[in-house]
Structure 1
């Protein structure tokens, strides 16, 4: 029987995007998205310190790379990945099955309101997935309810745009000279948790303590070469071209090619990036 996805009214737009074309694009290019963030994998899992019998919740799991690794590290436990995107979850299930990970499970759910069993998990993790909740206070309260006392939260989120050259360079290229307004700092999006001074009271109010925000940097990988990266980025940011005329589109695509070529290295097209590794314990 097909279940209807229950979404908080405030998350309707996010659900429409992630369970639509945006999520489908991520599912189709799962390997590239995972590769882009590979530089953060080691410190993320060192902080998670997953035990062999842990029950792990992966929030915004996408195509499941983090969930699958959590399952491998907890062979006597389980890992549950939740996401809004049916397309990404189909990919996640296929990949887990191909690896024989019977203790990796996936569910389409809005973690802001999903009725997780109380105190079900030893650890909640998220790799760049928690910034998209419309009501972050409600979301973290719900996540805290699902984590046992003494359990932990580990999440990777972006530092501000000014510290992420990949974002500045790629959006500037696609802007074609336009002065594009920055999104409101509290709006759901990649940089919604970029200010530790806002994150600490947010998590404390949800029931977490010992909140720490560790700055990390790593190169973002966008493709093996400039042409490869060009096809990936135009698919990812193509929406920025919709209101341009032909001249504007040509300029934007030429500017994009130029920045990608400028960042081409023997190891691929690389841009500097900066994140916060946020850890906390459940009170």
Structure 2
């Protein structure tokens, strides 16, 4: 891997480890919000009870732990770059009495598994952050058995996701945020139709299909939304940490106003849009 990509990977590992306590605190809330994308991944993977499944960039354990309940006679290997996130995953598995799983801290671009190991691979909200998405897809294809399926969920376009654009747009108005280099890892890197599907095809997958999902981040109140974003969303926390107290107060006030304007019922059920893309490794 190129030195620049390795640097990105190490920064990501440090960030996710740092934010793992916040993800632990908000885990039930976040997992409920992201469940539709996990459910769609599970549906298109067409799992069997004996399958051995790889869940990549699983964070606190989903959808891998839900998959483990389905592949009762099989195994799920749950991976993430950050060991701190996998600690939460192991605690979640213990609470739910799930034992047919393993956790492995590793980089998707250098998977520590033999060729043709897994019957299926899942990846929810990870692809757009991989330093080299094509290499990641090729590694997934390598460790997948012939005929096996891969399914991944990614965020849609910025206009579909005011839950993040409202707050980041407001921050950008008040602060000079450095522009990321073209093609850098980011929330909406796979948002346009066909982007991830083409990566899958380039990796040699066939029967590639794509579906759009929409829904709501049900925060319950604008205060809850603000707190959640400031404890879990790394770009928000990073930017806000560089603002003085007056600027922070202005940003918060304007975000609250935006939420009230767009969602006047005071429930802060804020729109999101995502894509689920699946593909299959050709039969040998």
TM-score (ref. length: structure 1): 0.87
In structure 1, the partner of 2:161 is 164
Q: Tell me the distance in 2 between the aligned counterparts of 1:65 and 1:198.
A: 24
1:46 paired to 2:43: yes
In structure 2, relative to structure 1, the CA distance for the partners of 1:70 and 1:196 (3 Å cut) is: same
What is the CA distance between 1:62 and its match in structure 2?
A: 0.7
What is the CA distance between 1:136 and its match in structure 2?
A: 1.3
In structure 2, the partner of 1:4 is none
Q: Tell me the distance in 2 between the aligned counterparts of 1:32 and 1:185.
A: 33
SS at match of 2:246: helix
Q: Tell me the distance in 1 between the aligned counterparts of 2:7 and 2:248.
A: 35
Among candidates 63, 66, 71, match of residue 63 of structure 2: 66
Q: Are the counterparts in 2 of residues 122 and 147 from structure 1 also a CA contact under 8 Å?
A: yes
Q: Tell me the distance in 1 between the aligned counterparts of 2:247 and 2:132.
A: 36
1:274 paired to 2:270: no
SS at match of 2:110: coil
Q: Tell me the distance in 1 between the aligned counterparts of 2:45 and 2:72.
A: 15
In structure 1, the partner of 2:242 is 243
Q: Deviations over 1:85-139 (max 9, x none)?
A: 2121111111112222110221111121022122111110111112211111111
Gaps of 5+ in 1: 1-6
Q: Tell me the distance in 2 between the aligned counterparts of 1:119 and 1:8.
A: 26
Q: Tell me the distance in 1 between the aligned counterparts of 2:147 and 2:160.
A: 33
Among candidates 59, 77, 81, match of residue 80 of structure 1: 77
What is the CA distance between 1:179 and its match in structure 2?
A: 6.9
In structure 1, the partner of 2:213 is 216
TM-score (ref. length: structure 2): 0.87
In structure 2, relative to structure 1, the CA distance for the partners of 1:99 and 1:202 (3 Å cut) is: same
SS at match of 1:191: coil
In structure 2, the partner of 1:174 is 171
Q: Tell me the distance in 2 between the aligned counterparts of 1:42 and 1:115.
A: 27
Q: Are the counterparts in 2 of residues 23 and 88 from structure 1 also a CA contact under 8 Å?
A: yes
What is the CA distance between 1:155 and its match in structure 2?
A: 0.7
Q: Are the counterparts in 2 of residues 161 and 191 from structure 1 also a CA contact under 8 Å?
A: yes
1:17 paired to 2:15: yes
What is the CA distance between 1:57 and its match in structure 2?
A: 0.7
RMSD of aligned Cα (Å): 2.3
Q: Are the counterparts in 2 of residues 81 and 105 from structure 1 also a CA contact under 8 Å?
A: yes
Q: Tell me the distance in 1 between the aligned counterparts of 2:243 and 2:200.
A: 41
Among candidates 83, 87, 90, match of residue 87 of structure 2: 90
In structure 2, the partner of 1:105 is 102
Q: Deviations over 1:225-249 (max 9, x none)?
A: 2222222122232322233333322
SS at match of 2:119: strand
SS at match of 1:217: strand
Q: Are the counterparts in 2 of residues 57 and 81 from structure 1 also a CA contact under 8 Å?
A: yes
